Amino acid sequence: MAANDAVATENRRFLDGQAVVALNVMGSPGAGKTSLIENTIRWLNNRRCVAVIEGDIATNYDAERIARTGVPVIQIATGGECHLDAAMIKQALADLDLPRGGILLIENVGNLVCPAEYDLGEHFRVVVASVPEGDDKIEKYPAIYRRADAVVVNKADLAEMSDFRFDRFRMQIQNINSYASLFELSCKTGEGLSAWADWIAQLRCRN
């Protein structure tokens, strides 16, 4: 882990040098991480330039989706590893066309456990939850939520068909990490995406 942290520090220095703000986007498979990235690019509407690193165990399906938006993207297929690590990001950064002063969105492998432990060199951590997963995930996977800068609840349009209690979720976030910004949105209907994109648009590197 010390070796990973050293490479993560190198990555962060490299990104700082380009004034690129990096976000580590984590969440369960199917929470809508890729949809959120597609919609972030759309709703930013050129206020900030974006580049994307996609992490999956296998396939480059998500990079193909992102490529259709026209932004630079690189797929990391981990070949079995259930999380990204700093060395994988270092390699991707060497090949990626980074927009100076822009935003780098890193989609981690779908997993609520070990991605929380690996610093990639990002500036901000985002956890994407979704209504169909249920409102108890903060209690079940506290580590990933404790260190989040922002928590997104996607698929808010499905709330009426589910038992998801937003008040419970909000209270749990407040208890475990009152610092995190909370966004309730739907990549399907567009509700809440404007506030999310405004939050992204104002981010700057922090040291």
Closest approach of Zn ion to the CB of residue 148, in Å: 17
Applying the rule CB under 5 A, the residues between 38 and 57 that interact with Zn ion are none
Stretch that binds Zn ion, among 37-45, 107-115, 156-164, 174-182 (CB under 5 A): 107-115
Closest separation in Å from C-beta 7 to Zn ion: 16
Shortest reach from residue 184's CB to Mg ion, in Å = 20
Q: Closest by alpha carbon to 23, among 207, 191, 200?
A: 200
Contact residues for Mg ion, defined by CB under 5 A? 33-34, 62
Of the candidates 106, 75, 79, 80, the residue with the CA atom closest to the CA atom of residue 8? 106
When the beta carbons of 34 and 111 are compared against Mg ion, the nearer one is: 34
The residues near 33 (Cβ < 8 Å, ≥ 6 apart) are: 25, 26, 27, 107, 108, 110, 128
Partner from Zn ion, Mg ion, none contacting 34, C-beta within 5 to 8 A by type: Mg ion
Task: For strands 21-27 and 124-130, give the pairing.
Answer: parallel
Closest distance to Mg ion from the beta carbon of 44 (Å): 19
Residue of the chain from 82, 143, 171, 195 that contacts Zn ion (CB under 5 A): 82
Pick the stretch among 10-18, 49-57, 108-116, 175-183 that binds Zn ion (CB under 5 A).
108-116
Distance CA 191, CA 183 (A): 10
Residue 205 interacting entry, from Zn ion, Mg ion, none, C-beta within 5 to 8 Å by type: none
Judge contact between 149 and 158, C-beta under 8 A: no
Would you tell me which residues interact with Zn ion (CB under 5 A)? 82-83, 114
